[in-house]
Amino acid sequence: MDDLIEAARDVQDRAHVPYSEYRVGAALETEDGDVFVGCNLENANFSNSLHAEEVAIAEAVKQGHREFARLAVSSDRRDGVTPCGMCRQTLTEFCDDDLEVLCDDGEGDVTEYTLGELLPNTITQETLE
């Protein structure tokens, strides 16, 4: 199994999910090989909840990273979870369309996408000008 998927699985135990009970972990690999992880953090006001991918990218950016190679996402249900639309848009702020997105389908099964496949025609700085 890919080490990045394993990192995404491992961080799920730290998720705070008292409402949905749906644990998600994400592991984001920088171009130079560093890995930053994140888990979902729910809030009673659901709009204030943080998604695993957001937490991972925030930690990486906070540490000065701006170039990313791969993202792995896993849920405790091993259901092939993909980043939601909001997380996809956040990723496009920092990642190219060719970012590899690995989605955990279960024991050893991974579906691979690119960010561009998951979110074509995204909103960018150029589209806002």
Is 107 among the catalytic positions? Answer: no
CB 2 within 8 A of CB 55: no
Quote the tokens at residue 70: 């791969």
CB 25 within 8 A of CB 73: yes
Q: How many CB atoms lie within 10 A of CB 51?
A: 21
Contact by Cβ (8 Å): 65, 3: no
Cα separations (Å) of 22 from 25, 57, 74, 88?
10, 20, 11, 19
Out of 29, 31, 42, 53, the active site residue is 53
User: Where in the sequence numbering do the catalytic residues fall?
Assistant: 53
